[in-house]
Structures are given as structure tokens and as C-alpha cells.
Structure 1
């Protein structure tokens, strides 16, 4: 066991504070990672505040982890000391179900082990990236290509793969009109990736406040959803809409923007239930769907794609002492576009 410094929430809704946690000794197939940077995801805030249900405390959040390998177990074949690596939202799965065997560990029917606020196969709670080090089985570690700086790579481990996976699955590319709802931590990555895939990209945001940013990041068009005329003008315009917001939407209004056989895919997860008139999907054979993160293979594919296209997250680097302030700023939409913690300050 190794004792490392970390920032943890001692109880639900409590401010995060500096503490120490134990990391397991490196086992045969484990990789010990010196964490360099950890992104702050809105999911961290949902879970610290138990917005998605009962959670495990004390909780060390963080599932956007970028670092450098400092030790490997004797059976490790994929990584060596000094490699640049990342860890995303999960650190294990059953590895036996059909989904796991197909490389879709995010949909493990046996239940995957989340990077934090989960229970590992050893029965111990998992702790995430707001810490100095982490030990992870090599099968759940990905390599970060040299073409991406580690600080800009960290948010790709959640925000990047969460948007890349549905864009790939629903075939965003040349000839497709794709709308991204929200221009936040997830949304700005969705715009960059959809643009790199060759789609015609539209941002749908509450206001035009971030329009210049949206166009700079790769959007072709930008509309304010607070303006009712937007929904009239864009009716039947899109093949695919990816909603990245965590607030309830008027699903019927957004479904009306789809072409026949179009899909509205939700990657943001509101804490409240949403309602739907089924005629919104029956007319036009439309699909209302959701998408989680990606599997390990797809996450590596995403990182390689981002390196090839020069894509990193737009970040604001902070010290660990600023985490609680950063949480409040995220809730106030006051970040362009992802806070990243410099782990050297932990």
C-alpha cells in the first residue's frame, strides 16, 4: 500500500478538502501512474452532491486523468515506465459478458467498476484522479499520443470519449447535419470532433453569448434556443442532435428539428425525470437515444484521432486549492471550457 495526498469530499454536499488515501500495491498486471493533471467534470459535482443518488464517502472524484507511468507489474506488456497514459471513467469490468468481449466495457452487464464512487473487485471503494497517484490494471489504461499535451488531454478521457462515441455510432461525417446542444465541457469537444469528422455543425445554445467561440471551435452555424424562431427556422434540419446539457429539455421541441430517421442522443444526464409525447418520435420515425462513454479500444481510437487532427480540450488550469471555487463556477457556466487540476499542487 502507498499513502498519497488527495482532495476528497468527506460527506455529501461538503466542500472538498485535502486528505490522504491508500493506493494498493502494484499487482502483476497493474500500472502505477503519477498523475499530472485531472479534469473537473460536471459528473464530479453531481456525485459529490448526490444528485444522481446515494454515493460513497469520503469521495475522491476525478475520471479525467493524465499522467506518466512510474511502475509496472511483472506481467504488464502494454506500458513501461515513462509512458504518457490516461485513465477515464472506469477501471475494471466483468470482462466476460458479450459487451465486454466486444470492447464495450462501458455497457458491462456484470457491472463495471467506476474510477471513483465505485466498489472494486477487492470490495474496497475506488478513488479518482484528484490525487497524486493511481494504480490501474493495464487493460483499463490508454496511451496518450505525443501530439496532445497532458493537460489538454485529461478532459478527453471523459468529455472527449463521451461525445466521440455517439458521433461515430450515428455516423457523423461528410453530408451529415449535426447539432450540438450546449457549448460547455462536453459541447465544445463535440463541436471540435464533429467538425473534424467532416459534418456540418450547428450549435444550439441558450443565448448567443458564446457564438464567437463556437465558430472558432468549428461550428458552421450558431443559434439561440431562447429565441422561439430558432425552432421554426430549423424544423426538420438535422440528421443527428447530440445534447450535452444536464438540465431537462423540451424533448418534443428538439425532436422537431430532426429529419425523418434522425436521432436525438443524450449524453448529458439531468437529475430530474423528463417527459415525452410519443408522437414526437412516431412522426418521422425518429430516435430518442442515450450514450455513455466509450470502451477502452474506442477511447484509444478517440485519442489517436484527436492527436491526428490537433484536437485538445480548451482548458483553464487551476491549483487544487481552487477546486471548490471551480465547482461553483461550473454551476454558473463560468468556465471556457474545462477546469483542469495541476496535480503537482495536491
Structure 2
């Protein structure tokens, strides 16, 4: 299938129109017209090769929603016209213990990422959602409930599931005390989801500039991390802290906030963190952990939950031609809270 996207040709060049071929449908494939695609901070990192493993040309985008336009002969889960979504992965081995447990994101034989990866069958590069069409194995295509606005649902496929998965893994529910470090794309979804699950939610931020936003999103309080007295008073007061900070940082100030046998889970930073003392860990059996996205079943569970609870990300719609300005604003944290690309803006030809 001939299609068009926006691609980075090198780490130094801006994204530009790029014509390419999507694969012919296999028996278990679903062809999708992409209507909207969220803009994730990792798209910026990958386009600029900040992590050192980008390959070019690179078409970013792993927060994808659209409609089915065709299916392979063996497809039973989806049909033409269905509202569907694609997240961060498009394939896994489907044979290991983790895949059998519905934890495809932890596949022993490594997942196939939606972009900047290679097809498991042909070895061809995978291209992401900054494009008009995508072809994906049916098991990795999610259903978007009718109650969710397609124009706002895309960020659920990364920001949503990245914060939903640790909330589910660590058993958050009514009465849980949840802290959220940072109130950006990931953080604002963590607040919304934890609040809807019945938790008492506190946003932890360097200052109180976002206090009104935090409360409006469902948090009960904002804790200023630069206020030593406030931090000391909050010791032992959280069952779970979700750390959404996307850059290298020091977790030491946050560990004493955890109660006995409680966990701080990193979902933002990919790479090193600053050296930290083990003392808070040893004194209260506190844990420092990490969490990627969730599996396919868990992602569908999250979409269904958001439909029932009327939860959607706070989005700013942009045209694909505005992606460079969006990247620059995202670097300055000048977005509340997620950019979404309207694919109707995609040019007809490269």
C-alpha cells in the first residue's frame, strides 16, 4: 500500500514528507487509516537520536487511532469501519511465558516496536503513526469504545497505559495514597486514572505553579518538593509514587515519602539516574522500580475503563506541518498536556 508520512532522514534534519510502502496484507493483518496520532516525548528523542539507537529514515508515532479499511483473510477480531488503536508495540513472539501471560511488552524474545524497529517476518523497518496508513497484526490492534472521542483518545495508547499499568500492578484502589512526580503528559494521566480508581492523589512538583491544574485534574493536594519542611511532614505518607520526570534526576528526596513496603516506580526517564543512598530502602523496605507500557489485554482494559469513567487526556490539536514547533514547545514543557496530530492535514504527496 502506497502511503505518505513525515520522516526524519537524519538526527539533524527536521521531519518532512516521506512517501513509502506499507506491506501487503498477510492473513492476520489489519490495514488502518490513521485519523489522529499523539506526540510523545520519545518521538522527539528518537527523531534526534538522543538514545543512540535511531535508524533512518524514521517515521515516529506510537499513539495511533483510526478506522479499519481492510483485513487479511484470517482476521476475526476486526472489520472494515471499526474504530481501532495502535500503541507502542506491533508484534511479539507470542510463544514465551510472558506473551502467554498477556505481558507482551515483556516478551522474552523482544517486542517489535511500532517504529524504529524491524518487522519480525521480513526484517523491513517499521514506520510509525505520523502517516496516513498503517498495517498491523490483528492481535496488536485495540478496539476504541464508542464513548471515547477519537480526536482525544490517541495519548491513551502511551501516556495512558504507561501510568495505568503501575497503578494496576501495585493494586491501587479506594483509599490508596498515590503520589505523582511531575504534571506533564504522563503525570496528568496518572492523576486522572488514580483519582478515578478511588485513590487519594498528591502531585509532587518543584513549586506550586500547577496547583490549580493538579486539583482540577483530580488531585487532592500538591506537595512542593523544594519546601524542606513540607517534604519532612509528608514522610511515610504514600503507598505508591509514580515518577514521570523524563530526564536524569535524583530520586533521593522522594524515597522517604514512601511508607513501609511501598514503591516508587519510574516511568519517565530512560537512562541513568543520579546516585542515591540505600538508607531509605533499608529502613522501611521501600522499593525503587520501573514499569514500561502494559500488555495488549491491559491496554484494552484501560481503554474500556476510560470509556466508562469518561477519562480523556487534555489535548491540543495540531497539523502535521506544526510538528517542529510542537517538538520545541514540548522541550520547554509548554503544552497542557499532550499534542495530537490531525492526520487530515497530511499532504497528498511527498
User: Normalising to structure 2: TM-score of the pair?
Assistant: 0.97
Change (3 A) 1:14 1:206: farther
Count of paired positions? 345
What are the within-5 Å matches in structure 2 for residues 33-52 of structure 1?
33-52=32-51
Cα pair 1:202 1:220 within 8 Å, conserved: yes
Query: What residue is the counterpart of 1:150 in the other structure?
Result: 150
Of 336-345 and 264-273, more deviation after overlay is shown by 264-273
Query: TM-score by structure 1 length?
Result: 0.98
Q: Does 1:253 align with 2:253?
A: yes
CA distance in 2 between partners of 1:115 and 1:209 (Å):
36
Q: What per-residue deviation string (whole Å, max 9, x for no partner) do you get for residues 246-293 of structure 1?
A: 122321211010001110000012444432222221110011000000
Aligned to 1:77: 76
Counterpart CA distance in 1 for 2:209 and 2:233 is: 20
C-alpha distance in 2 between matches for 1:229 and 1:126: 50
Equivalent residue for 1:102? 101
RMSD: 1.0
The aligned counterpart of 1:325 is 325
Q: What residue in structure 2 maps to residue 166 of structure 1?
A: 166
- In 2 relative to 1, CA 206–21 (structure 1 residues): closer, same or farther, beyond 3 Å? farther
SS in 1 for 2:161: helix
Provide closer, same or farther for how the CA distance between residues 28 and 80 of structure 1 changes in structure 2, counting only shifts above 3 A: same
Determine the structure 2 residue equivalent to 1:207: 207
- Cα deviation, residue 77, structure 1: 0.3
For residue 82 of structure 1, give the secondary structure of its aligned residue in structure 2.
coil
Say if 1:246 and 1:271, in contact at 8 Å, map to a contact too: no
Point out where structure 1 has 5 or more consecutive residues left out of the alignment.
Answer: none
Q: Quick one: distance in 2 between partners of 1:209 and 1:291? A: 28
The equivalent of 1:178 in structure 2 is 178
Q: Deviations over 1:213-236 (max 9, x none)?
A: 111110000122233333212111
Q: Which residue of structure 1 aligns with residue 28 of structure 2?
A: 29
Does the aligned pair in 1 maintain the 2:250–2:273 contact within 8 Å?
Answer: no
* Paired position in structure 2 for 1:241: 241
Q: Which residue of 2 aligns with 1:17?
A: 16
Moved more, 205-214 or 293-302: 205-214
Q: Is the contact between residue 249 and residue 273 of structure 2 (CA under 8 Å) also seen in structure 1?
A: no
1:14-48 alpha-carbon deviations (Å, 9 max, x no partner)? 21111112101111111000000000001111111
Contact 1:70 1:81 in 2 (8 A): yes
Contact map agreement 2:224 2:231 (CA 8 A) in 1: no
Q: Distance in 2 between matches of 1:271 and 1:13?
A: 22
Distance 2:12 2:92 in 1: 29
Residue of structure 1 equivalent to 2:334 = 334
- Distance in structure 2 (CA, Å) of the matches to 1:270 and 1:95: 26
SS in 2 for 1:253: coil
